Amino acid sequence: MPSDTIGHTGQVDSNFNPKSGTRSARHDGLQLFALSFAALFLELMVIRWVPAVVRFVAYYSNLMLISSFLGLGLGAMMARRRWNLFRWFPAFLLANIGTLELCHQIVHMPSPDAEARFGQQGTFFFNYLVLIGIFVLNTAVFVPLGQQIGRLFRQLPPLRAYAFDLGGSLCGTIVFGLFSLYHFSPSIGVATVAVIYLAINRRHFLVNATLLIIAVIIIPLSVEQGSIWSPYYYIAIHPFETATQAVSEPPPNLRTMQDPPLYVVSVNTDFYQWDGTLDVRRYTPGLPYSNYVRDFLDPEYLLPYQLHTVAKNVCVVGAGGGLDVQAALMSGADHVDAVEIDPSLIGISRRFNASGVYDDPRVHIHINDARAFFQSARGGYDMVIFGLLDSQALFSYSNNIRLDGYIYTVQSIKKAYSLLKPNGMLCISFVIPREWLVFKLVEMIKEATGGNPVVYIGNGRCILGVAQNLKSAILPKEIADYHRAVGQMPTMDLPTDDWPYLYLSRHTIPNDYLIVCGSLLAISAGVVIALWLTDRDIQNGANLGFAGAHFLFLGLGFLLLETKSIGDCSLYFGTTWFVTMIVVSGVLLMVLLANTIAMRLRQTSHWLYLPLLISLALLYFTPRELILGRPLAIRLLWTLLIVPLPIFFAGLIFSTTFRDGGDPATLLAANLIGATIGGFLEYLAMAIGTRDLLLIIAAAYVVSLVCSWVSRCSNIPSMRLVD
């Protein structure tokens, strides 16, 4: 299984020379630790950074993870060859960064009919070629690292090497988590990797250092001066009247000045929200700001309070810039719970919102995922507002669920509706990238609440409201530029906690995903086969065959298992980066524990597959809503004790069979290539849901069992080391 969960795995066997000395072994182990740290850190950094540079990659960000796996696997396949690719790492990294900078102005890939995206535009074929190029270049960056890691695995005892690898990956995960949450900077991130590389490889120091310094210098070319990085987005702030230059400071008298500026906040180079005030009394009549606030912003944010006039206790999820919160206060709210997942957006509003809404004592800020807040909220609200929670990013590096995926499900809306007073109203505001998205929201509300929502559409947005006593017949047909939508709505596939895909019209994998993933999979398979055909040791049966297939399917199953674990834990505790980093760290710790125990086991046992498959069955047949409805302590126990069980047993299987396998570099490559295939298969969740991924995981482990059994029964020689 991939050791960094995001990374590698490996061990060593017949090539280990115990006479090389303890000092040399320690040096190799520390170098392996450092390289595993650097590879993991770089993987996470490109996943985090590239979507902010080339915008449409945000919808394919797990391809950056897949290409990293592929590069490490291809490099490990070449560990026995004389080529020294490690020295070319600076050149590959510079070429990759330079290409990303050139592609910075490329716009979105067009949205397919089956999926809704924001701001889609551009030519499919051209952007498709760009995506292929980004995938290939990112793969090339990780090939030198994979080759060097494979060579080091051949210099150490198997499980000891694996421990160094896991330790580096775990450390890289924790450091990157802190780096991302508190002060993410792609320049600092690349500089960190560069320092590690130069400390390991001192040959051609001046040339390599020059290339890496150039790479660090050109990174800021894609970043506007005054912009910031939050845990989720690259954020820039522009004055309403111009988008040419980001600003870093508002006027000093913003809270009191007449005609205060209105700011546009963009994330990953796309519009996201406004920061300003809704109070038209702050503006001189007839000026552009006054007209825009009066004619566009006020109708949008104040409309819900014309449908439900009594709103003293209000909850706003997706509070962001604070306009929904200010609308609640202007409409008479005495208490507002403002829920926002990104603390940076709250901080920006404190500085750039002329109303100072987040400093109002009636407002209580909750930095949390909306779904997680619903689970712990006391309720009693007159109004629950979903404030333009449209997502601009995926919530995890390893799957294709968007940041708001678990918020816009039938179960989530049902939970939010239960927090209302008997006469309270649930209101959803949403941008309309596709007309069918309105129909889907209507059907979701009907399914979750049993009521028929009233729908107003205008200015490219829809506002939906539902309440127990809502008498839609007496509501006006028009409110400002918003018109009542009436008529029969078509039946849609509704998003659930098992299929959290609001932006898909139905259970399907959109054509562009099929084309992109199919092309990349074909390219990857071609390169792997070419390397295989030119490796005489592999052709002669050395450590490939059924043994290689065994590790390939272990990698495939483990990648999907990790993805499934992150998704489940994010549902239970929120789709935050913190939760993701905790889960990844927990997975690595579980694998490290399994590796430690494997060091004390003298032989491999196929009976380990039995508890592995039983634990998978337990996760499959236990409804997630049953766990989600339990108190926090129960959810924690389930997450800490039950969810990691398959990971633990898979780790034991991997470590014990890897110790007794053949050439570690070849088996490492097979495992990583299996993880690459697993990354592509993760897109099947769009069609079958996330729960049924467990069936694919179980099938992968069953195939690995068969391959391991056949390999053991065969007469292919393999050497075993004793740590």
238-279: per-residue pLDDT in tens? 988 776 678 888 999 999 999 999 999 988 877 888 899 999
CA distance 70 to 75: 8
Q: Give the residue ranges of DSSP H helices in 607-692.
A: 609-621, 624-628, 632-637, 645-659, 664-681, 685-688
- The mean predicted confidence, pLDDT, of the chain is 86
Mean pLDDT on 349-377: 94
d(CA 267, CA 12): 45
Task: List the single range of 146-150, 325-329, 597-601, 696-700 with lowest mean pLDDT.
Answer: 597-601
Residues paired with 364 in a beta bridge: 337
| 54-58, 76-80, 134-138: range with highest mean pLDDT | 134-138
Picking from 333, 326, 348, the residue whose alpha carbon sits closest to that of residue 229 is 348
**Residue 396's pLDDT is what?**
63
SS3 643: coil
Q: Quick one: tokens of 593?
A: 């524990």
pLDDT at 122 over 70: no
State pLDDT tens for residues 285-296.
888 778 888 888
Of residues 300, 354, 305, 294, the one with CA closest to residue 332: 305
Least confident of 120-124, 359-363, 401-405, 705-709: 120-124
CB-CB contact of 315 with 377 (8 Å): yes
Tokens of 237: 């702030």
Strands 478-479 and 454-458: unpaired
Of 437, 496, 409, the C-alpha closest to 113 is 437
Torsion angle, alpha carbons of 430, 432, 433, 437, to 10: 90
> Smallest Cα–Cα separation from 383: which of 416, 339, 429, 431?
416
Nearest to 14 by CA among 690, 661, 689: 661
Category of 541 on φ-ψ map: left (φ > 0), alpha (ψ -120 to 50) or beta: left
Which tens digits make up the pLDDT trace of 633-688?
899 899 888 999 999 999 999 999 988 777 888 888 899 999 999 999 999 999 99
| C-alpha to C-alpha distance for 665 and 349, rounded to whole angstroms | 52
Type of residue at 346: I
Q: How far is CA 461 from the centre of its chain?
A: 27
Name, in order, each residue with C-beta under 8 angstroms of 519's C-beta and a sequence gap of 6 or more.
Answer: 132
Give the integer Cα–Cα distance in Å for 211 and 496: 49
What architecture is the 289-391+410-484 domain classified under in CATH?
A: 3-Layer(aba) Sandwich (3.40)
Q: Give the closest residue to 559 by CA, choosing from 395, 696, 705.
A: 696
Distance from the Cα of residue 478 to its chain's centroid: 40
- On the question of pLDDT at 389 being above 80, the answer is no
pLDDT in tens, 408-456: 999 999 999 999 999 899 999 988 878 888 989 999 999 999 998 999 9
Cα distances (Å, whole numbers) of residue 127 to 105, 177, 233, 574: 11, 31, 22, 33
* Residues 188-203 as b or e (16 or more Cβ within 10 Å = b): ebbbbbbebbeeebee
Single out the residue of 132, 127, 100 nearest to residue 518, CA to CA: 132
- Pair of tokens at residue 483: 């018109």
pLDDT 10s digits, 504-519: 989 999 888 888 889 8
CATH number for the segment(s) 18-224+503-713: 1.20.1250
In the prediction, which pLDDT does 213 show? Answer: 96
Distance CA 139, CA 317 (A): 39
Q: What are the CA-CA distances from residue 389 to residues 167, 264, 268, 321, 658 (Å)?
A: 38, 16, 16, 12, 46
- Cα distance between residue 40 and residue 225, in whole Å: 29
User: Residue 40 in contact with residue 4, Cβ under 8 Å?
Assistant: yes
CA dist 604 and 316 (Å) reads 55
How far out from the chain centre does Cα 240 lie? 31
N-terminal to C-terminal alpha carbon distance within the chain? 20
Q: Using 50, 70 and 90 to split pLDDT, how confident is the model at 220?
A: confident
d(CA 545, CA 538) in angstroms, rounded, equals 9
pLDDT at position 22, please? 64
- Domain limits, the chain: 18-224+503-713, 289-391+410-484
pLDDT at 222: 75
Residue 366 has pLDDT above 70, yes or no: yes
Residues 577-625 have pLDDT tens digits of 788 888 888 898 999 999 999 888 877 788 999 999 999 999 999 999 8
Sorted by sequence, the CB contacts under 8 Å of residue 717 that are 6+ apart come out as none
Residue at 394: amino acid letter: L
Band of pLDDT at residue 119, cut at 50, 70 and 90: low
Distance CA 639, CA 627 (A): 9
| pLDDT tens column, 282-335 | 998 888 778 888 888 888 899 999 888 889 999 999 998 999 999 999 999 999
pLDDT of residue 463: 92
pLDDT-based confidence at residue 7 (cuts at 50, 70, 90): very low
Residue 401 exposure: Cα atoms within 13 Å on the Cβ side: 30
Going by pLDDT thresholds of 50, 70 and 90, the confidence category of residue 715 is very low
